[in-house]
Chains A and B, each alone.
Chain A
Amino acid sequence: MQSTEVISVNLWQMLISLLNLLILFLILKKFMYKPVKKTLAERQKLIDERFENAQKAQSDADSAKSEYESKLANADSEAADIIKAARAKAERKSEKIVSSAKSKADDILRQAQTDAELEKKKAEADIKNEITEVSSLLTEKLLGREINAADHRDFINSFIEKIGEEND
């Protein structure tokens, strides 16, 4: 079996190896890079889609959350309104009650005062009468004669009034 020299130059062999490299290049391009790149692109698309979906879900959740939050805030303010209204109502009522109670108390007080005054006046009149009677009796007894009650009444009354004025 013959063999070539360690160093030999053969143009056709060079051409063959050149074509070998070209063929391997085409094989790699067609059977390796094309499918792999296609899959990578598909995967990228898939990831993009999933990401988009996730973003959409996120935005949906965000909007729902904000809606609930606004609703919650509304409910809070409503409750506050209700409480305020109730408080105002209660205050009004209590004021009314208090004022009515006050006015009743005033009435009662006034009544009592008028009653007391009337009593007082009555008592004064009674005392006056008694005093006149007693004084007339006393004078009757002292003078021994009958004094015309009617005559003296004016005098005594003036006298008593004088005493009342001095007392006042």
Chain B
Amino acid sequence: MELAIGIILGCCALGAGMAMIAGIGPGIGEGNAVASACEAIGRQPESQGNVTTTMLMGCAIAETTGLYALVIAILLIFLAPGRFVNILVETMNNIK
């Protein structure tokens, strides 16, 4: 029983950590976006305001996937262990 609970907790933590691998994607994407924005501002300094606003918008949208991963990770850390342990206890009681 304790072993099972330990496995559940460990796997939840592991899953959360693996979910956050998705943070790589937005990192690369936003880096690209900022690089392009810097280039654009260097080419046309007078359009700095527009470029900055658009870049922030794009960054925020590109961040969405990373935030999905974050939400999954938070679920796995704060919500999932309790649920899974409850399910485990219930099934054990049923078997008994």
Residues on B with C-beta less than 8 A from A6 are 74, 78-79
Closest to B71 in A: A7
* Secondary structure of the B contact surface, majority rule: helix
* Secondary structure of the A contact surface, majority rule: loop
Q: How large is the interface on A (under 10, 10 to 19, 20 to 34, 35 or more residues)?
A: under 10
**Does B75 sit at the interface, judged by CB under 8 A?**
yes
CB distance from B17 to the nearest CB of A (A): 17
**Does A5 sit at the interface, judged by CB under 8 A?**
yes
What is the bound-complex CA distance between A6 and B74, given in angstroms?
Answer: 8
Residues on B with C-beta less than 8 A from A5 are 78-79
What is the bound-complex CA distance between A126 and B71, given in angstroms?
Answer: 163
Closest to B75 in A: A7
Residues on B with C-beta less than 8 A from A7 are 71, 74-75, 78-79
What is the bound-complex CA distance between A7 and B74, given in angstroms?
Answer: 8
What is the bound-complex CA distance between A6 and B78, given in angstroms?
Answer: 7
- Give me 7 other A-B pairs in contact (C-beta within 8 A), A5-B79, A6-B74, A6-B78 excluded: A5-B78, A6-B79, A7-B71, A7-B74, A7-B75, A7-B78, A7-B79
Residues of A within 8 A of B (CB): 5-7
| A–B Cβ pairs within 8 angstroms, 10 of them | A5-B78, A5-B79, A6-B74, A6-B78, A6-B79, A7-B71, A7-B74, A7-B75, A7-B78, A7-B79
